[in-house]
Amino acid sequence: MNNQFDFSRREFLSFLGGSAAALATPAIGFSAPSLGETPPLEPATPRSTIKSLPASTVDDLVLADGIRSSILIRYGDVINAAGERFGFNNDFIAFFPLHKDEALLWVNHESPQGGLMHGNPGVLLGGTPKTAEQVREEQLAVGGSIIRILRDSKTGEWRFGGNHALNRRISGLTKIPFARGVSIAGASVATGTLANCAGGVTPWGTALTCEENYQEFYGELKGPGGPSWEKQVKMPDHHHGWTEHAKMHPWHYGWVVEINPRTGRAQKLVAMGRASREGATVTLAKDGRAVVYSGDDFRGGCIFKFVSDKPRDLTRGTLYAADVGKGRWIELSWSKNPLLRKRFKDQLDVLLHARDAGLEAGATAMDRPEDVEIHPLTRSVFVALTNNPDRGNQHGSLLRIDEADGNPLALEFNSSTFLAGGQESGFSCPDNLAFARGGDLLFTTDVSYGKLNRGEYQGFGNNSLFLVPSSGPDAGRAIRLASGPIDSELTGPCFSSDQRTLFLSVQHPGEGSKVVDGKLTFTSAWPSRETGGKPCPALVALHNLPLAGASARS
């Protein structure tokens, strides 16, 4: 109860902007409560008139009729007096209300792009070996940012609040302890967090950030054997070209990291296991224990569930992996499972190789499970299965998991496909998910670089943001609300408390930029076309989304 990540009761209440009654409401965990009166906005587009954008290959953030956008902050913007800067390739966003018109955002920074940052994309993209200074610049640009934002009381729109003592960076160089003092590869403190893809928000007001493709930074060690490791070692394990100048132990990455956005304190949650996790979505069991769902974004990765031993503490608990065929959660406990005891030497060994442990114990190899979200009304668990060309699955799907009796502690579940990608549905490769309070589902797509608008992916346009309405004439259909610039991915959709604003990351515009004939050539100019500039990732706010009930709120 009193670990350093736990807000005091008073701090927690002030954080929620609510009263003691808020704590008694079981649903507090997920939808941060609305903070009192909100200024009126123009009504959203009536539900019956939602018109899908056509697929677009335009180098811009193109929006469906009626939606407006503004850029809050972009890579390189200074955030505090110490001169720290907003990092590169922003991804997951978490919203933490402070007061009525003031909030903090935690924002992930997944990866660097040397070509766009300092002009040297590295040897894999036609550049040269990176210098120590270039590697350090990149280490400082990953991890996450904590930024304070303010709402205009007249327009209701949010903007970056400028330099502030609450604004901080957690980077690839920040010292972060392993929870409970666990020692991994001889150290109880890791240097930095990286590959921060998606994440989650805990009911006690901390952010979770997931270290997804960690092997691209400091490589990976060959594990205890098995099919996933054979594939893993084929991956470009020094993709970013850091290891010449920065040598960290690969086992220090691949964890879920918990961050207190008020203080910047961070810890790596060893008990949740190590994998290429996309995100970590938290709900509460009736007894107050936290249940965290996550996908391991890997061709053949597992869906995990973690149940904490105690309320408000993710440092101890039980890890499960999903056997989707049989509809059961398999406990990954070394002491209880002879299959795990045979292959791993102890529970830490199981946790270090959570994917292999899951597969060894009978969990289902999934087609790149990415984001997970919980339906706000039905409590069904939705998982984006992005794709798996190895198994002929080009376009992916959304999987729905219904726990037995609606109990997140259940060991059995039913599952079904909610929506499949493809020509008929009009989307391909679903990735991040976000539910609006009324049950509308937003999701983004991630057709990977090099495949966008080519071959089987022709006709799907640039990566986009889709809405699946929960009601009305378009219920259950995927409607394109926004289309990203060339070679970008729209990531991290996150609502403000009043759901009037959707924060969204425009990640890696111009990802395909590389050195051609000795000259760095950009494939996108977003968002700085006016300066003839190079592409730059940025965080945008979208307003006036056509959500269920939006027009009724005022």
- Chain contacts with ligand FEO (rule: CB under 6 A): 110, 197, 212, 278, 297, 370, 431
Residue 464 CB, shortest distance to Ca ion, in Å, is 13
Bridge partners of 187, per DSSP, are 184
- Comparison of 211 and 431: residue with beta carbon closer to Ca ion: 431
Please, is 367 exposed, middle or buried when counting C-beta atoms within 10 Å of its C-beta (0-12, 13-18, 19+)?
buried
CB of 528 to ligand FEO, least distance (A): 24
Residue 291's binding partner out of Ca ion, ligand FEO, none, with CB under 5 to 8 Å set by partner kind: none
- Cβ closest to ligand FEO, residue 157 vs residue 212: 212
Please identify, using beta-carbon distances, which residue of 91 and 498 lies nearer to ligand FEO. Answer: 91
Choose the contact partner of 211 out of Ca ion, ligand FEO, none; CB within 5 to 8 A by kind.
Answer: none
Q: Output the smallest distance, CB 34 to Ca ion, in A.
A: 20
- Mapping DSSP to helix (H, G, I), strand (E, B) and coil, where does residue 552 land? helix
What is the residue-wise DSSP string for 202-230? Answer: -TTS-EEEEE-STHHHH-----S-SHHHH
Closest distance to ligand FEO from the beta carbon of 491 (Å): 7
Cα separations in angstroms, 485 against 63, 107, 115, 229, 494: 11, 20, 18, 35, 20
Nearer to ligand FEO, 157 or 216 (CB): 216
Q: Which does 440 bind (CB under 5 to 8 A by kind): ligand FEO, Ca ion, none?
A: none
- The residue nearest Ca ion at its CB is 446
Q: Which is nearer to ligand FEO, 432 or 470 (CB)?
A: 432
Cβ 491 to Ca ion shortest distance, Å:
6
> What is the identity of the amino acid at 394?
Q
Pick 168 or 508: Cβ nearer ligand FEO? 508
Q: Which is nearer to ligand FEO, 108 or 470 (CB)?
A: 108
29 Cβ neighbours under 8 A, 6+ residues apart: 202, 203, 282, 283, 284
212 binding partner (options ligand FEO, Ca ion, none; Cβ < 5 to 8 Å by kind): ligand FEO
Task: Provide the minimum distance between the beta carbon of 40 and Ca ion in the complex, in angstroms, as a whole number.
Answer: 28
Q: How far is the CB of 295 from ligand FEO (least distance, A)?
A: 8
Question: Residue 299 Cβ, how far from Ca ion at the closest point, in Å?
Answer: 12
Tokens 């102890």 belong to: 346
Q: How far apart are CA 375 and CA 12, in angstroms?
A: 24
Structure tokens at 332: 């990954």
- Smallest gap from Cβ 194 to ligand FEO, in A, equals 12
Q: Which amino acid is at 359?
A: L
Residue with smaller CB distance to ligand FEO, 110 or 323: 110
Choose among Ca ion, ligand FEO, none what residue 257 binds, the Cβ cut-off being 5 to 8 Å by kind: none
Residue 313 interaction partner, one of Ca ion, ligand FEO, none, beta carbon < 5-8 Å per kind: none
CB of 508 to ligand FEO, least distance (A): 10
110 interacts with, out of ligand FEO, Ca ion, none, CB within 5 to 8 A per kind = ligand FEO
- Of 6 and 91, nearer to ligand FEO (C-beta) is 91
Which residues, including other chains, have CB under 8 Å from residue 112's CB and lie 6 or more apart? 88, 89, 137, 138, 141, 142, 240
- Beta bridge mates, 176: 190
Phi first, then psi: what are they for 511, rounded to 5°?
-55, -30
Which of Ca ion, ligand FEO, none lies near 6, with the C-beta cut-off 5 to 8 A by kind?
none
Find which of ligand FEO, Ca ion, none residue 360 binds, CB within 5 to 8 Å per kind.
none
What is the nearest approach in angstroms of Ca ion to the Cβ of residue 104? 18
- 208 binds, options ligand FEO, Ca ion, none, Cβ within 5 to 8 A by partner type: none
Residue identified by tokens 């903070």 is 35
Distance of CA 407 to the CA centre of its chain: 25
Question: Is residue 151 within 8 Å of 158, Cβ to Cβ?
Answer: yes
- Residue closer to ligand FEO, measured from CB, 373 or 431: 431
Provide CB contacts within 8 A for 517, sequence distance 6+: none
Cβ atoms of residues 216 and 195 within 8 Å: yes
CA distances from 440 to 190, 464, 533, 546 (A): 39, 17, 37, 10
Q: By CB under 5 A, name the binding residues for Ca ion.
A: 197, 371, 431-433, 446
DSSP string, 54-95: PP---SS-EE-TT-EEEEEEETT-B-STT--B--SSEEEEEE
Q: Which is nearer to Ca ion, 121 or 199 (CB)?
A: 199
Task: List beta partners, residue 191.
Answer: 175
Cβ burial, residue 553 (10 Å; 0-12/13-18/19+): middle
Given the complex with Ca ion, which of 216 and 323 has the nearer CB atom? Answer: 216
Q: 502: which 2 tokens?
A: 């959707």
Q: Do the Cβ atoms of 522 and 530 come closer than 8 Å?
A: no
Distances (CA, A) of 368 to 212, 239, 303, 405: 12, 20, 9, 27
Helix (H) or strand (E) holding 399: strand 397-403
454 three-state secondary structure: coil
Shortest gap between Cβ of 391 and ligand FEO (angstroms)? 17
487 binds, among Ca ion, ligand FEO, none (CB under 5 to 8 A by kind): none
Taking CB within 5 to 8 Å according to partner kind, which of Ca ion, ligand FEO, none is near residue 216?
none
